Every structure is written in C-alpha cells, then in structure tokens.
Amino acid sequence: MAGSAPGTPRSRPPVGVLALQGDFREHAAVLTSLGADVVFVRRPEEVAQISGLVIPGGESSVIDKLARSFGVADAVVARIRGGMPVYGTCAGLILLADRVQGGIRGQQSFGGLDVSVRRNAFGAQTESFEAELDVPVLGEPPMHAVFIRAPVVTELGPKATALASLGDGTVVAVQQGGVLGTSFHPEMTGDTRFHQYFLDTVTARSSGG
C-alpha cells in the first residue's frame, strides 16, 4: 500500500491501482503525488475498500487471466456496474472496453465503456510514438502523449464520449460517466492532468456530487 505521509489527514477517498502486472507503481507514484491514498489491489477484499480504481498498462491478456485467477475480476465488474469510477491506460483501456478486437482466445474484459477497441493497433513496440493531443476537458496546453503498443477505439457507442483524437481522427481517449480510458501513458510524461481529472471524479462521486 502506498499513500500520503504518516500523520497527514486523508484528503481524498482511497483509490486503488490494480497491481497484478504492468506499470502499476508508476500510477501509484503519480496518484500519491496528487495527495491520494493509494491501495495496491490484488484481492477481492481490496476492491471493496476503494472508491476508485486505476488499471495500468501492461499485457491486457495477462492482467485478465490474473484478475480471474485471483478472484478480482468479478469484484471489479460489480463495482464498475455499481458506479465506481475507473481509469484505464493502454491495456487498461482494453480491459474496460465492452468489445475487444484482436484479443487472444478466451480473453475477457471488465467492460464499462461502450466502445470497440483494437489491441496493438499501431504494431509492435518498435512502432511506439509520441504526439501532442488537444484534450478540451483538460484545457491548455496540449498533452504530450506516449503510445506504446497502443490500442485505439475503432467504434464509439452512443453511451461513450471521445475526449481526444489523433490528427487523422483516431479516438485515443474516451469517457462514459465515471469510466475513463486512454490509449497512451500519462504516468510516463509528468503531466498529471488526467490523473487529477480522475481523482476529481472519484471525490465528486464519493461526496454524492
């Protein structure tokens, strides 16, 4: 478990980071720097303790298998359906998509975003790239985004809203209520606005806003 320094009053509801595989430590560091109390989530009991969850980048198929093996998947799905805010980056976006294209045999997702997402849409890791994105909900300046074996949203359902797109119109950030997903890795760039946006959502939901 990571969190604010000992003796500091809790300023926000507890936020979980799914810590089964991937860059969960980087997300925890960003959230902690923003004043969040962070819980590393590996068991169903920990899902019950949190008010919001971040699902990190990594291998979506591996995270899916481990989440089911550890009994975490059903707990996460239930909390999402119950309205808990969730933020997924890269593999996390895949796990939050209602429809996954290019998944391995038997791969499942938690769902929560009325979108179709294609895995590894830009090819291998050698095809990773960076781009400047306009994200109106975050204001100025544009966000410097890092894409590593990134997925993209290929179909945006009526319940979901695009938050950012590449120059060719490819959707790379999406939101549906309290569920947020990005194709890229804001935890790698030092720009904390997406994490802050998510934390504000968690706080608003927890206070009945």
Q: Which residues are catalytic?
A: 90, 185, 187
Nearest to 151 by CA among 99, 110, 188: 99
Say if residues 22 and 56 touch (Cβ distance below 8 Å): yes
Quote the CA–CA distance of 187 and 193 in Å, as a whole number: 10
Coil, strand or helix: which one is 88? Answer: strand
Q: Count Cβ atoms within 10 A of the Cβ of residue 132 and give its class: 0-12 exposed, 13-18 middle, 19 or more buried.
A: exposed
Residue 13, preceding peptide bond in cis (omega within 30° of 0) = no
Phi and psi at residue 159, to the nearest 5°: -85, -15
Alpha helices (runs of H) in the chain, residue ranges in sequence order: 24-33, 44-47, 60-69, 72-81, 91-96, 193-206
